[in-house]
Structure 1
């Protein structure tokens, strides 16, 4: 691997690990210390507005509906998520964040906003466009593997 490729790889691995470590550390010391990183990502996938089915959330997280059900059971017990049954078809269950879930979601999004603002700080428009293009290319490459 040439120097530039090695350098980019090192930064990607380090940034990925740093983000996971920071998120986990912040969860443990904040008011949301009852959440795991996986539960945090489940809340993020459900989203702030609207209601999603378990199948939609499972697909977004690349997990089975059975795996998601376990996570939703825990999040429901902890007061972050509620299940809403369709009156016409009781088999249809939609997931929605509770007030506590929305509070966490906003807090987590604030962290991501600060992170992205930091990454883009002091960059010219062309540099920002190049970063977005590179990340998109990486995403498309990774998407082929899952």
Structure 2
């Protein structure tokens, strides 16, 4: 029975996430950004000092190098990202957030932090660890599915 309840909760969560993401898309449009661009800004924002390489971003987002290059170039034109070449190897390009990009990143990170805080509010440390382990397993399952899909292409 717990498994069926879990399936129902996951389905409901997926539906609600879709609704929230659609609202986020509407908000992002006001900033002249797509949701994919917001996600790219968040990925870039994970290393504010140094920035992230195109290769790092492609691996993290499960997309091609050329797709990342196109996205980063577009975000740079819009003023959200600054591109710099590595000093040692000019072929390596780093993407860093501009002040404008950091504002967008902060806005969406606050939402994610609020979501996480709300999920564990009132949980014991043990319950938090169980939830974290479950989400880790979900992520591993999804990563494995992505790898299988990529391998079958």
Deviation of 1:47 after TM superposition, in Å, equals: 1.6
In the alignment, the residues of structure 1 paired with residue 58 and residue 33 of structure 2 have an alpha-carbon distance, to the nearest angstrom, of 18
Q: Which moved more, 1:96-105 or 1:124-133?
A: 124-133
In the alignment, the residues of structure 2 paired with residue 30 and residue 87 of structure 1 have an alpha-carbon distance, to the nearest angstrom, of 34
Q: Per-residue displacement from partner, 1:2-51 (whole Å, max 9, x unpaired)?
A: x3222212222322332343133134236853111111111111125121
Distance 1:88 1:144, change over 3 A: closer
**Does the aligned pair in 2 maintain the 1:32–1:104 contact within 8 Å?**
no
Identify, as 1 or 2, the structure richer in helix: 2
Distance 1:129 1:52, change over 3 A: same
Q: Which residue of the partner structure matches residue 137 of structure 1?
A: 137
Q: Which residue of the partner structure matches residue 92 of structure 2?
A: 92
Matched ranges for 1:40-59 at <5 A: 40-48=38-46, 49=48, 50-59=50-59
Normalising to structure 1: TM-score of the pair? 0.86
- Structure 1 residue runs of 5 or longer lacking an equivalent are none
In the alignment, the residues of structure 2 paired with residue 31 and residue 110 of structure 1 have an alpha-carbon distance, to the nearest angstrom, of 19
Q: Which residue of the partner structure matches residue 4 of structure 2?
A: 6
Deviation of 1:103 after TM superposition, in Å, equals: 0.8
RMSD (Å), alpha carbons: 2.0
In the alignment, the residues of structure 2 paired with residue 86 and residue 125 of structure 1 have an alpha-carbon distance, to the nearest angstrom, of 42
Q: Per-residue displacement from partner, 1:48-88 (whole Å, max 9, x unpaired)?
A: 51211101101000000011122112211211111112345
In the alignment, the residues of structure 2 paired with residue 66 and residue 30 of structure 1 have an alpha-carbon distance, to the nearest angstrom, of 23
Distance 1:9 1:33, change over 3 A: farther
Correspondent of 2:26 among 15, 25, 28? 28
Distance 1:127 1:88, change over 3 A: closer
**Does the aligned pair in 2 maintain the 1:72–1:81 contact within 8 Å?**
yes
Number of aligned residue pairs: give it. 144
